[in-house]
Amino acid sequence: MGVPRMQQPDERRDMVERQLRARDIVDENVLRAMERVPRELFIPEPERRRAYDDAALPIGAGQTISQPYMVARICEALSVRPGHKVLDVGTGSGYQAAVLAEVGAEVVTIERIPELAEQARANLAAAGYDQVEVQVGDGSLGVPDRAPFDGIAVAAAAPGLPETLYEQLRPGGRLVVPVGGPRAQRLEVIVRSPEGPAVVHSVPCRFVPLVGEEGFAG
């Protein structure tokens, strides 16, 4: 009560201007996609009014929906183009998967916590992205039967370069993953090249841990 609330499309435009464009996001496809995806539909009711805050927010099961800036950063680093097949590891709310689908990618996403995967399916359907394939399992091992991928986005922190995910990239494909300790990481962009992994270090970040075979112990 009290403070008049902006309409959601305005809040969304404002988020794109202040949190993304004013920082360093330049990919127009990504900016346009984030202006279209209704982020509030991916956030549980108690936190929904904060949907356009410059922050990660709790989504249950001790997990978070990523900060809008990190979602944009990951999408931009992947260089997603319409028709690309992309794997999104750590579905969470499904928001990142929706943004990738809005950019025009064919999206496969995998989540280890079944209740979150279930909720993400419902969120994606409510927002009109029911073409996204949501799987349940250990995404640190990728989704071998859907490989190879043009891009793989990991929304959870890995202790090192996840080899199995790298192997599921098409030549020239990109893997974007936060690498480091459980409390602080750097977002790394790894390109599959004939000479082996070409790693570009990017921004410092803080993600929830990737729990699994090629992640941290659960």
Nearer to ligand SAH, 66 or 168 (CB): 66
User: In whole angstroms, what separates CA 182 from the centre of its chain?
Assistant: 18
Q: Does 111 bind ligand SAH (CB under 6 A)?
A: yes
11-19, 62-70, 75-83, 143-151 -> range binding ligand SAH (CB under 6 A): 62-70
Report how far residue 191's alpha carbon sits from residue 98's, in angstroms, rounded to the nearest whole number: 23
Of 30, 37, 124, 156, the one binding ligand SAH (CB under 6 A) is 156
Report how far residue 43's alpha carbon sits from residue 91's, in angstroms, rounded to the nearest whole number: 13
Report how far residue 176's alpha carbon sits from residue 153's, in angstroms, rounded to the nearest whole number: 5
Tell me which residue of 144, 162, 143 sits closest to 209, measured CA to CA: 162
Helix spans in the chain (H): 8-15, 28-36, 68-78, 95-103, 114-126, 163-167
Least CB distance from residue 129 to ligand SAH, whole Å? 13
Whether 66 is catalytic is yes
Q: Does 55 bind ligand SAH (CB under 6 A)?
A: no
Q: Does 90 bind ligand SAH (CB under 6 A)?
A: yes
Q: Does 139 bind ligand SAH (CB under 6 A)?
A: yes
Residues of the shown chain interacting with ligand SAH in the complex, contacts defined by CB under 6 A: 63-66, 71, 89-90, 92-93, 95-96, 110-113, 116, 138-140, 155-156, 208, 210-212, 215
Catalytic site positions: 66
